[in-house]
Amino acid sequence: MSKLPLRWLHANALFRSAGVIAAIAGSFVFSGHSIAQTQEPAPAQIPAGTGSHHVADINALPPAPGLIFDRRAGEYIMFDELVRRLSNRKYILIGEKHDNPIHHHHQSQLIDALTKSDQRHRAVVWEMFTRDQQGLLDQSWQEVPISDLGQTLEWEERGWPSWHDYAPIAEIAKTHDLTMVAGNLPDDLLRPIIAEGTAALPATLATKLSLPDMPDEIMERFRVEMAESHCNALPKSMLGGFSTVQFARDASLARAMTDIANTADHDGAFLIAGAMHVRHTIAVPWHISRFEPGLDANDIAVVSLIEADDPSDNPPKPQDYAERFGNRDDVDFMWFTNDMVRKDPCIDLTVGQ
């Protein structure tokens, strides 16, 4: 089997042109709700024919950095209203684009606000920490300054962006005495799963995850996404293996959330993960519902930070962004942000390096 660097095994950025996650800005007023100002907003575009002084439907405006859209309600809302609508939900999954540093600030902002505003004591589950790191994470959490935690846990050596960008999330967790949970599969299991499937899982973990056969619809979506997220450079024979890894990783994150949320000292969990891991119909929420079949659907909420497209004559609508996840029902709230200048990741990719 061709070997790929671990950074590609971690890849979930999918749909690079639609990047997902990141930075609120601005001060807008929608239906009486204002979004808190953190930086100068990008000017909102006025749909053609409405005039510059009157907008018939503010929710018809195209997304821009700083706006938060409640997809199910079909309306823009302010940050405080987002917190109110999320209040007391058991599981809150906050999707990101890994290399956008501003979105990690907003993840910490949301965790802070929710922890202050409701009665839930949620743990913080991380995609970026693996299950075999939990012991070191627990020890370091008490002994190591937050600024040094990434180095202690070999954060950047394992392919993640700067720990400095993620540190505010850990700082907020420590401020509120929230448990930090390593949710992902150990790195050394990824290549065996690609080659051997779920048979490569250790018996104890296999029992804990209790993976069913992957539904055909999920397999088909994963195969397409694995191909696209790896620049269509993967042999077709490997797409099934990579899809199985994604399915197992989602199950691992979901199990970490449900395990910690149902202990004596906790009654919920946040998830910090790439946006493609937090989709309702295909990813971690799907497995949460499998592990807790009696859970009310409203107890799982997905917030995805999404980089807004550059202004254009025919800008996409909020629902268009939702459909980029593969199914518009995959996301509840979309928090639009600035994007970042990036080099095309496919330029230097060589499968087999």
Question: Which segments within 149-210 are labelled E, that is strand?
Answer: 180-184
* Domain ranges within the chain, ordered by starting residue: 6-16+86-300
Specify the pLDDT at position 169. Answer: 98
Specify the pLDDT at position 350. Answer: 63
Rounded CA-CA distance 185/310 in Å is: 36
Per-residue pLDDT of 57-76, as tens digits, reads: 888 889 999 999 999 999 99
182 Cβ contact partners less than 8 Å away, ≥ 6 residues apart: 126, 129, 130, 131, 132, 133, 134, 137, 256
Specify the pLDDT at position 344. Answer: 87
pLDDT tens-digit profile, the chain (353 residues): 433 433 343 444 333 333 322 222 333 333 334 343 334 344 444 444 444 455 558 888 899 999 999 999 999 999 999 999 999 999 999 999 999 998 999 999 999 999 999 989 999 999 999 999 999 999 999 899 999 999 999 999 999 999 999 999 999 999 999 999 999 999 999 999 999 999 999 999 999 999 999 999 999 999 999 999 999 999 999 999 999 999 999 999 999 999 999 999 999 999 999 999 999 999 999 999 999 999 999 999 999 999 999 999 999 999 999 999 999 999 999 999 999 888 888 887 765 54
What architecture (CATH level 2) is domain 6-16+86-300? 3-Layer(aba) Sandwich (3.40)
Specify the pLDDT at position 54. Answer: 52
Q: Of 116, 119, 45, 44, whose CA–CA distance to 80 is shortest?
A: 116
Around Cβ 40, how many Cβ atoms within 10 Å?
11
Specify the pLDDT at position 125. Answer: 98
Q: What is the pTM of this model?
A: 0.85
Question: Length of the chain in residues, anyone?
Answer: 353
